[in-house]
Chains A and B, each alone.
Chain A
Amino acid sequence: MIVIYLFLLFCGQQHIAAGNTPQAQIETDIAQLEKALTQHSEQNAYVVIDTQHNRLQIWQNGRIVHQATCATGSGKVLLHPKKQDLWQFTTPVGLWRVKRKVTDPIWAKPIWAFVENDDTIPILPWEFRRLDPTTLGAYALELGDGYEIHGTLYPTLLGRNITHGCIRLNDEDLARTYQLIDTGNRVYIY
């Protein structure tokens, strides 16, 4: 019994001598967990888009470095009169990454753009009248699946849900976003 008592006493003293009290141990664990979480978090700038209030924010190192009013998907549904196709113009929620950065982008109009305006639909995918060099503004950040962050011809409509799914910004905010965000950076949309 004496031996056990002395052993436990020795262990306890060693424990305290090393500054390894339960409290200190928990603090060490917390520091390690915080470090692990920091390693998981994004070190580069990332974009956060609130589609409900049409706000775009650029975050870096835990703070907002730029924010802007944007325009996002209207949620409207468009029906193809002949083929019974259906398009819904929503901005998709979730994590995206910037796949490509483009200057002076040219918009290759999809079929819905012609259906919406009651125009005849081009038969060939490379027809010249599909190409529109003015609508997207000076820059575009491609997110994939045809969704982009780009400029607008109608800056007075920013702050509303009026787009076909893309995110529109005015010229100054678009230039700043293009400057701050690189290819591969994350874009969180909710």
Chain B
Amino acid sequence: MRIKPRLVDKIVRICLNFQAFFTVGILVVIVAVIFFKGAPHVNLGFIFSSPEDMGRHGGIFSTIIGTLLLVLLSIFLATPLGVGTAIYLTEYTKQSGFTKTIRFGVESLAGIPSILYGLFGFIFFVIKLKMGWSVLSGVLTITIMILPTIIRTSEEAIKAVPRNLRIVSYSLSATRWETVKKVVLPSAIPGILTGIMLSVGRAVSETAAVIFTMGSSLRLPTSLMDSSRTMAVHFYILAREGISMEKAYATALILVVSILLINVIAYYLMNKMISKYS
């Protein structure tokens, strides 16, 4: 007996429909579980007081500061490097062996898993350069880790700026750098910001590369050479060592809410970029 093609068509449509919503369902369940289990334990005191007794009591203030330091400083370092590379690749060169080599480097960096960044940061920054487990070691490691994301998204954003804008600028006898600075970059900014926000998300949720370079001290860092703990690392230690389930859920809630916010902003900026040029 042969099943009619039209019937197959209908069944497939229903199955795929179900599959897509099932997958979105996974996301909804994850967010809902974290929200309902975490919300009862989150309040202003939890956010603004420091952890006590390994995180069994108190809040997560020092880990929020640790996260902010890590994220802001590594973005501060990676953005000029990444955007500069993207400008170089798109505006200053033609396709050649040299740009292919650089692109190969960027692709390879993007593929390296975070534990290997941790391994490298540990041996290079922590041990060989004698920075110890410190905010500085963590920042430098994460800077390298997020660089490929910033380069790739900036490159896409710069490529999306219409050619005409550049031609007009050159015809007004502007130099290449003037054109880049006054015409190309301002138009590409939403796209570049999308890349930055995605990198922020990656740095906030990173554990493996951070724990072996920044360490996991719960004290409030007072200098770049102090060890510190990010929210993600704190959550990992709370959950893995079974220190406190309530605090773990509460930390996860703050973590997931920040990630959602960051992604929503990134998505908004991306849409702005797309609607601008299409």
Decide if A and B are genuine partners: no
